């Protein structure tokens, strides 16, 4: 293992398998290193989980900046924005969100705040689309409330588990409804 980035990516792969219940032992096996090597980069699993959440947020923010600063049409920006969000959560299932809520409350709060912030950015893009005539006018307050409630609802571990969905599958369905409606 050469750097913290490699450790974070390995931990994300372990999360996809074991949820947040992965162990530092799991990481030593995956990376073929000693625990001492791991602890050169992070002091604890709690710190590692914090680093993972921060990296996922930073990664999305980098992509978001590229999307917002591009000259692409607003419809494409909206689509790329939601696809990017789905990509960072790909493979995370109900166990991950449940474990974050139960065992890493600060990180869950950070993730929830991030999600709320991104709904606001999406709404600004939507307003830009409405202002330019590229998106049909809609009641902004209703759309915001629907997206906010839907994002909150689909992040609930019980909902995801009972419907055998990952978070990104649920977001993908929501995106399809928002961009294409329900009619065939």
pLDDT of residue 115: 87
Task: Return phi, psi of residue 68, to 5°.
Answer: -65, -30
Q: What's the full length of the chain, in residues?
A: 184
Cα(68)–Cα(109) distance, rounded to whole angstroms? 25
CA distances from 178 to 43, 119, 147, 172 (A): 43, 13, 9, 10
For the chain, domain boundaries = 4-180
CATH class of 4-180: mainly alpha
Q: What share of the chain is helix, strand, coil (3-state, %, to 5)?
A: 80, 0, 20
Cα(121)–Cα(132) distance, rounded to whole angstroms? 17
End-to-end CA distance of the chain: 50
CA distances from 25 to 30, 31, 63, 77, 161 (A): 9, 10, 32, 41, 27
Beta carbons of 119 and 148 less than 8 angstroms apart: yes
Cα(163)–Cα(184) distance, rounded to whole angstroms? 23
| Tens-binned pLDDT, residue by residue, of the chain (184 aa) | 678 999 999 999 999 889 899 999 999 999 999 999 999 999 999 999 999 999 999 999 999 999 999 999 998 999 899 888 877 877 677 788 889 999 999 999 999 899 889 989 999 999 999 999 998 898 988 988 888 888 778 878 888 889 998 877 888 888 888 888 888 7
Beta carbons of 157 and 97 less than 8 angstroms apart: yes
Cα(147)–Cα(143) distance, rounded to whole angstroms? 6
Beta carbons of 147 and 123 less than 8 angstroms apart: yes
Q: What is the pTM of this model?
A: 0.82
What are 70's two structure tokens? 């591009």
């Amino acid at each position: 293992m050469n750097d913290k980035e490699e450790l974070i990516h390995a931990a994300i792969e372990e999360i996809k398998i074991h949820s947040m219940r992965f162990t530092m032992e799991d990481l030593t096996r995956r990376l073929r290193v000693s625990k001492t090597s791991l602890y050169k980069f992070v002091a604890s699993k709690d710190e590692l989980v914090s680093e993972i959440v921060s990296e996922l947020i930073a990664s999305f923010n980098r992509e978001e900046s590229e999307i917002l600063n591009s000259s692409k049409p607003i419809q494409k920006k909206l689509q790329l924005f939601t696809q990017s969000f789905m990509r960072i959560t790909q493979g995370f299932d109900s166990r991950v969100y449940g474990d974050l809520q139960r065992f890493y409350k600060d990180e869950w709060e950070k993730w929830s705040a991030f999600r709320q912030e991104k709904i606001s950015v999406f709404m600004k893009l939507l307003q830009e689309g409405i202002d330019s005539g590229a998106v049909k006018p809609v009641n902004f307050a209703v759309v915001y409330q629907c997206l906010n409630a839907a994002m909150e609802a689909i992040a609930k571990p019980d909902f995801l588990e009972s419907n055998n969905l990952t978070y990104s599958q649920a977001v993908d369905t929501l995106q399809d409804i928002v961009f294409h409606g329900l009619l065939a």
